[in-house]
């Protein structure tokens, strides 16, 4: 399992970075990104501390740990600025909190995330065909999530991504220990979202490619 969307006590998660990574290793993760929620108020505090934790952790753990950030509930016009700032501060994976159907995310967030060149558009909800095609052109990955609530649109996202040939990844959006999942559970989530078994391994491979890209940024 490669999990590129997780949270710690630096935003609204329950675990310190070291414990999150230890628990991820215990369920069989080969790579994890720590992507705490950020906006203009905390990005300069959160990202450097994640980078610091990851720098020390890499010496001691058997998996790749990637510092990241999730741009969350930011007005669409500010998203590009914050994606750039996150990268400048050391985030190697930048996610934008997409237009999930369970929260009042500003309309236009999905589009702004794609324009900004985020690595992953998380739980994009009922993303429009226009934005899906734009994501394809920009090489943006869409997320299938195991997170309760956000997963309600997994079937739609999976169907449209397969139809138009969009890159997908599966992540947990973990906030607590019980949110972390094994590769086998991830496989079942993907199958439940309507992904044919013959395509599931390619989604895991997409996540592997994102990890390789992130590590090259170092």
Query: 47-75: per-residue pLDDT in tens?
Result: 999 999 999 998 899 999 999 999 999 99
Domain that holds residue 156: 2-216
pLDDT for res 218: 65
pLDDT (mean) for 99-120: 98
**How many CB atoms are located within 10 Å of the residue 78 CB?**
15
* Count of domains for the chain: 1
Q: Tell me which residue of 63, 65, 170 sits closest to 123, measured CA to CA.
A: 170
Mean pLDDT of the chain: 97
pLDDT for res 69: 98
pLDDT for res 59: 86
What CATH number corresponds to the domain at position 130? 3.20.20.140
Which tens digit of pLDDT belongs to each residue from 115-168? Answer: 999 999 999 999 999 999 999 999 999 999 999 999 999 999 999 999 999 999
Q: Tell me which residue of 107, 46, 115, 48 sits closest to 73, measured CA to CA.
A: 107
Report whether pLDDT(3) > 80.
Answer: yes
Q: Note the helical H segments in 58-195.
A: 76-89, 109-116, 129-138, 154-164, 183-192
Report residue 217's pLDDT band, with 50, 70 and 90 as the boundaries: confident
Structure tokens at 9: 């006590």
C-alpha distances out from residue 24 to 4, 33, 34, Å = 11, 10, 11
Structure tokens at 166: 């969009």
């Amino acid at each position: 399992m490669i999990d590129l969307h997780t949270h710690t006590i630096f935003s609204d998660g329950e675990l310190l970075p070291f414990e999150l990574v230890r628990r991820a290793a215990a369920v069989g993760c080969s790579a994890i990104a720590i992507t705490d929620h950020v906006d203009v108020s905390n990005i300069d505090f959160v990202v450097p501390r994640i980078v610091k934790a990851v720098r020390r952790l890499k010496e001691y753990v058997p998996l790749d740990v990637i510092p990241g950030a999730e741009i969350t509930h930011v007005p669409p016009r500010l998203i590009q600025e914050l994606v750039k700032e996150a990268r400048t501060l050391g985030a190697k994976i930048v996610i934008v909190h997409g237009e999930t159907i369970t929260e009042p995310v500003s309309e236009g967030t999905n589009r702004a995330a794609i324009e900004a060149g985020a690595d992953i558009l998380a739980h994009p909800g009922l993303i429009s065909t226009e934005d899906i095609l734009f994501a394809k052109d920009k090489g943006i990955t869409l997320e299938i999530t195991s997170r309760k609530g956000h997963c309600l649109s997994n079937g739609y996202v999976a169907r449209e991504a397969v139809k138009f040939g969009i890159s997908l990844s599966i992540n947990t959006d973990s906030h607590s220990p019980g949110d972390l999942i094994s590769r086998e559970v991830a496989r079942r989530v993907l199958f439940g979202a309507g992904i044919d078994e013959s395509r599931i391994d390619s989604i895991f491979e997409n996540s592997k490619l994102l990890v390789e890209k992130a590590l090259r940024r170092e």
